[in-house]
């Protein structure tokens, strides 16, 4: 199901970001590390949920620790996240 690029929940950008990064990886080789930068922890979680399955061998890092990143329901996406 494709997300709608309008309204309150504009989540299509996450899917487009993942597709773009996957194309870059196919051209340039496997990503070793991916930084998720920004101030909104919920945006970070959306990005981690989208990218972790596509780049299972990459090391993910971010700049700020937030309690939401340590919640057990997020462990699949945030496990081994470097802060």
What is the percent of the chain with per-residue pLDDT over 90, rounded to a whole number?
64
Is the pTM for the entire model greater than 0.75?
yes
Q: How far apart (Å, rounded) are the C-alpha atoms in residues 18 and 25?
A: 10
Q: How far apart (Å, rounded) are the C-alpha atoms in residues 69 and 76?
A: 10
What is the percent of the chain with per-residue pLDDT over 70, rounded to a whole number?
87
- Describe the chain by its helix, strand, coil percentages, rounded to 5: 45, 10, 45
Write the DSSP symbol of residue 34. E
Confidence of residue 12 (pLDDT cuts 50, 70, 90): confident
Confidence of residue 8 (pLDDT cuts 50, 70, 90): low
Q: How far apart (Å, rounded) are the C-alpha atoms in residues 25 and 57?
A: 12
Q: Which two tokens stand for residue 70?
A: 């340590």
């Amino acid at each position: 199901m494709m997300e709608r690029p309008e309204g309150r929940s504009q989540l299509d950008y996450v899917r487009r970001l993942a597709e773009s990064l996957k194309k870059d990886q196919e051209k340039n080789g496997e990503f070793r590390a991916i930084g998720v930068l920004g101030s909104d922890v919920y945006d970070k979680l959306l990005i981690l949920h989208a990218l972790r399955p596509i780049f299972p061998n990459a090391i993910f890092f971010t700049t700020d620790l937030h309690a939401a990143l340590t919640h057990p329901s997020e462990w699949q996406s945030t496990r081994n996240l470097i802060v």
